[in-house]
Structure 1
Amino acid sequence: MPIVTVNMMEGRSDEQKERMIAEVSDALVRSLGAPIESVRVLINEMPKQHFGIAGQSAKKMGK
């Protein structure tokens, strides 16, 4: 059972997340030959103030 964890900043729409789940799942099916029913995709969203870039939070940088 392939399990993929995606860590990303908050702010994407439900539609974008659904599309990402579908495309990541399809990539695993193609590359590993895994049955789609066995694929799991986990999304960990974090607040922008919990994501650092070049020594500053993404929130502070306006990302």
Structure 2
Amino acid sequence: MPLVHIELLEGRKPEQLKQLVQDVTAAITKNTGAPAEHVHIVLNEMQTDHYAVGGVLKSDQ
């Protein structure tokens, strides 16, 4: 059972997230042979004021 965790910043539309999980599932099934119904994906959307790069919050950029 492949289990994929994806961390990303908030702000994507539901349609974009739906397409993301479909594409990731397709890539995993293609490359591992695992059936799609066994692929689990967890999306963790972070608030931009809870993520920083180089000491700068993404919300401040």
Q: When the two structures are superposed, what TM-score results if normalisation uses the length of structure 2? A: 0.97
* 1:19-53 CA-partner distances (Å, limit 9, x unpaired): 00000000000000001110011100010011111
Q: Which runs of 4+ in 1 moved over 3 A?
A: none
Unaligned runs of 5+ in 2: none
Counting aligned pairs with the same residue, the percent is: 33
1:1-63 matches, within 5 Å, as 1-61=1-61
| Counterpart residue identity of residue 50, structure 1 | H
Q: When the two structures are superposed, what TM-score results if normalisation uses the length of structure 1? A: 0.94
CA RMSD for the aligned pairs? 0.5
Unaligned runs of 5+ in 1: none
Number of residue-to-residue matches in the alignment = 61
